[in-house]
Structure 1
């Protein structure tokens, strides 16, 4: 019996309850052949096998990011990066430096600014940008992706002025005289974004090649994507060329639902590289832009309960159509009102699905960032997957405390979701956050930032998870969410050979040192895509 790769002398955490740990694994033709101790696996070797001594390194099933905007992440690698800018001045300096390096007259794009992290918490303005980039249009997405900061030239090109009405599901921020300030919220962003030239499919595919290499370097073997048709077309180009080296679940924007149903797409259609997920709807906005839909007003803003992007009645209509056609739903809900409305919709949908027959689609809520205590148990009861991003908690904790007050206690409630019996799956929401899984792993087990804040126990420490639970969220849970558990999610015979190799043992390393653990290797389909030893 010939094997193509033997890994020995490792600390292998299989996530397989029948064989939780091992020291060696044999791989053949892209599949796991056997898992066991060094002697058992060495016996399978022959002259054709490559044998690799892991030297005690830690191995898990391949890490999967269950919430990524892959097109936007890929393109962001070539745009101005404002993530982490501590002040408006620093953000403007980065923009000015980028504009100087990338001279031209075309659009200057970027993302990552967050006024909530600045000392005055005030939104920036078009005038701020006009002072440094007056001669080319500028479009900068908020860190959350739910607001845009544009300059006056961009507003003029889009013909947005004091006479322009707010679009449904969006808001043009205005000054006291009614003039646009340069901040566009939610669906108002498209008023300007629609004028930005779209990259060609080939250009996007090339950006994805670079992004894919980065994903391998940080230990990712797969992702669930939430971008649109252009992204899907570029992914197909890579798949057809044999260059797609990540397992991708492609979710469908609700505005493409009619077309998806028209050609008969169903959740799970595709292959092990590229398959259809669910239908994506936005129920509300985001915390950073203070547009997440809340049951009670934001702290200090008695008139602000956020923005309902899609009302409950429309969600019900779209979900009924999708479910009847065999497509699951995956709904963005940040605020407690949004989560409540989505759960009401799912309760109705589940009742109708039971009447149709035994088929049970794997519906999701994306983010579940703050949820009313009365709704905590409902995801488990309805069989709804909690798709959450641990890194959001540590990034957002100051904003959550400031904007939600006592309600922050019920936010980013991974432990509560886990203990309720809901399936919890993890991701990053890149490029909103870094796509690297280790910061998310660190956040899940510590509830602390990299600098140790807010203290040794973390932010609402009762919501911390164990390392085993966290790795489950990045591996097995992702497979279960996508209906891929027969082929992915654990290290077991016949499963796809997708593995992540860490320089140190995540299960014993002190939590404070997790962010220093290197990715030693990433194996996808039995092939090293990244190797550092």
Structure 2
């Protein structure tokens, strides 16, 4: 039994609590100093926190674990100029064996005055090595000539269904590949990490996530990620909570194994089946009702309403919910139309009322805003996308930017919101996401004190819930995870300051002093004068 006291505890429903008891991984009691210390004789450990703040452990409801783990060893391509990106690629390439792949992530042609790079530019800095750099959005990639040749991509190669091989005026591939079916042409030939090596990468990554205050994630990567997580779980090395969403290309494997949404335990459980209804805003492949500003382009709809309904009937009959990526207002409408039909189907077939999700909900028509609440569809959004994308959104969407990233409006209409980062698209640090939700500002303070479209700012209470209890709630684990209350598992953060007392602009700088999962300290800052 362990007692933590003399603390500022964020526990809705327990406003006077300054102390808590942890026993066998759960919060046994919560109350005032007098309430808790009167029974302290039974405690093996009694720790005076001297005013330190205790928060619930945080969960990122949308990450790509494998990509995130792998990017730790990639070239950071998120630069302000194409020249700086190429300089970083050259520096990395010089350190690699002659036949090694040069990997990078994070470029965004929209912030580069030069626009897209070319295969020839990469050829000049890679010393003959194949190169493959994923865009910040993960919906585009940049390859050099060696990589294109190894993948068999040349002037005669047609665009794959749902993807585009960008070509110059003479029909030669430029090196830019748009959307997953096109990027997969090269990515599929890059040597993959083994399940063992991926598990080892995850163990290293989880230590970094603990340091940031994360105790769990909802993952949207592939089948190899699932296998690595299972390996860690079976060996007792998974000390991090993961809700694994089902990759559509392995749906039949999950169905054959009898795996259903919510199956598993508090360490590893099954979410929904991930589908893509459109592309992304950056490459203008998000499906729009009207064209992007200054163009005739309305993006790419990757699934029709009928196709989603057909897939949903199949998954629903096998106990699996859906989690559908939707960026543009047309994509969001199509997905909502499909979900409306699926709700009727579920009722008619006496199927469960699944916690279906829309991932991102970036641009949504005002008339569709109430529909998520009406249909009880989870809005899985990433608050950090709003300030990160604001300049691009204003440029590409014009007046429609006013109803993009509309988190307050969705909440006001009654939608359930869960928050994530989409890492490695954006930084995984949850306090960056909380800062963005509350301020609608970048870390440098832009666009100004009130933030971008300030009416869409959320309260800190809403931000904390979206990163803690609500992710547990939609996974049928809200009765014992995600909150500080008696009976709940002791997933806790010790913070150096009370975020509710801090200026909003300082929220992103908060760094936990310690992270506990089921009462066990998995991270502790060296400055703490006691052992947890």
State the shift of 1:31 in Å: 0.9
- Cα separation, partners in 2 of 1:104 and 1:338, compared to 1, 3 Å: same
Match of 2:26 in 1: 31
Residue correspondence of structure 1 range 380-419 to structure 2 within 5 A: 380-419=373-412
Q: Aligned partners of 1:8, 1:78: CA distance in 2, in Å?
A: 41
Match of 1:8 in 2: 5
CA contact (8 A) 1:169 1:310 kept: no
Q: Aligned partners of 1:233, 1:52: CA distance in 2, in Å?
A: 40
State the shift of 1:500 in Å: 1.8
CA contact (8 A) 1:521 1:528 kept: yes
Q: Aligned partners of 1:371, 1:88: CA distance in 2, in Å?
A: 32
State the shift of 1:311 in Å: 2.4
CA contact (8 A) 1:447 1:464 kept: yes
Does 1:363 pair with 2:360? no
Q: Aligned partners of 2:410, 2:348: CA distance in 1, in Å?
A: 27
CA contact (8 A) 1:170 1:309 kept: no
Match of 2:176 among 163, 183, 198: 183
Q: Aligned partners of 1:94, 1:379: CA distance in 2, in Å?
A: 43
State the shift of 1:46 in Å: 3.5
Match of 1:77 among 66, 72, 78: 72
Match of 2:227 in 1: 233
Match of 1:224 in 2: 218
CA contact (8 A) 1:58 1:502 kept: yes
Match of 2:105 among 107, 111, 126: 111
State the shift of 1:21 in Å: 5.4
Match of 2:48 in 1: 53
The one-character-per-residue Cα deviations of 1:161-204 (angstroms, maximum 9, x if unpaired) are: 11111111101011111111000011200111110011001110
Instruction: Report the more deviating stretch, 423-432 or 94-103.
Output: 94-103
CA contact (8 A) 2:26 2:487 kept: yes
Q: Aligned partners of 1:265, 1:357: CA distance in 2, in Å?
A: 19
State the shift of 1:256 in Å: 1.6
Q: Aligned partners of 1:270, 1:100: CA distance in 2, in Å?
A: 45
Structure 1: stretches of 5+ with no match in the other structure: none
- Cα separation, partners in 2 of 1:95 and 1:61, compared to 1, 3 Å: same
Q: Aligned partners of 2:265, 2:248: CA distance in 1, in Å?
A: 22
State the shift of 1:307 in Å: 1.4
The one-character-per-residue Cα deviations of 1:467-496 (angstroms, maximum 9, x if unpaired) are: 011001101111112111112121111111
Q: Aligned partners of 1:50, 1:287: CA distance in 2, in Å?
A: 52
Q: Aligned partners of 1:52, 1:338: CA distance in 2, in Å?
A: 52
Q: Aligned partners of 1:261, 1:453: CA distance in 2, in Å?
A: 47
Indicate the SS of the match to 2:384.
helix
- Cα separation, partners in 2 of 1:152 and 1:419, compared to 1, 3 Å: same
CA contact (8 A) 1:498 1:524 kept: yes
CA contact (8 A) 1:25 1:32 kept: yes
The one-character-per-residue Cα deviations of 1:116-147 (angstroms, maximum 9, x if unpaired) are: 12234x11111110110141110110000000
Match of 1:337 in 2: 330
Q: Aligned partners of 2:438, 2:516: CA distance in 1, in Å?
A: 25
Q: Aligned partners of 2:137, 2:430: CA distance in 1, in Å?
A: 18
The one-character-per-residue Cα deviations of 1:401-431 (angstroms, maximum 9, x if unpaired) are: 0111111111111100111111000000011
How many residues are paired up? 525
Match of 1:138 in 2: 131
Q: Aligned partners of 2:10, 2:37: CA distance in 1, in Å?
A: 19
CA contact (8 A) 1:283 1:332 kept: yes
State the shift of 1:347 in Å: 0.3
Match of 2:498 in 1: 505
Match of 1:204 in 2: 198
Match of 1:468 among 461, 468, 486: 461
Q: Aligned partners of 2:33, 2:15: CA distance in 1, in Å?
A: 15
Residue correspondence of structure 1 range 422-437 to structure 2 within 5 A: 422-437=415-430
Match of 1:523 in 2: 516
Structure 2: stretches of 5+ with no match in the other structure: none
CA contact (8 A) 1:215 1:221 kept: yes
- Cα separation, partners in 2 of 1:380 and 1:21, compared to 1, 3 Å: farther
- Cα separation, partners in 2 of 1:104 and 1:6, compared to 1, 3 Å: farther
Match of 2:268 among 274, 292, 299: 274
State the shift of 1:391 in Å: 0.6
Residue correspondence of structure 1 range 450-469 to structure 2 within 5 A: 450-469=443-462
State the shift of 1:237 in Å: 1.3
Does 1:126 pair with 2:123? no
Q: Aligned partners of 1:470, 1:132: CA distance in 2, in Å?
A: 43
Instruction: Report the more deviating stretch, 304-313 or 265-274.
Output: 304-313
Indicate the SS of the match to 2:164.
strand
Does 1:322 pair with 2:322? no
- Cα separation, partners in 2 of 1:475 and 1:396, compared to 1, 3 Å: same
Match of 2:91 in 1: 97
TM-score, structure 2 length as denominator?
Answer: 0.97
CA contact (8 A) 2:75 2:104 kept: yes
Q: Aligned partners of 2:145, 2:199: CA distance in 1, in Å?
A: 32
Match of 2:59 in 1: 64
Does 1:174 pair with 2:167? yes
Indicate the SS of the match to 1:519.
coil
State the shift of 1:514 in Å: 1.6
Q: Aligned partners of 2:178, 2:215: CA distance in 1, in Å?
A: 34
CA contact (8 A) 1:67 1:428 kept: yes
CA contact (8 A) 1:425 1:474 kept: yes
CA contact (8 A) 2:167 2:173 kept: yes
Match of 1:378 among 371, 374, 384: 371
Match of 1:157 in 2: 150
Indicate the SS of the match to 2:129.
coil
Instruction: Report the more deviating stretch, 277-286 or 94-103.
Output: 94-103
Q: Aligned partners of 1:422, 1:257: CA distance in 2, in Å?
A: 28
State the shift of 1:43 in Å: 2.7
State the shift of 1:452 in Å: 0.9
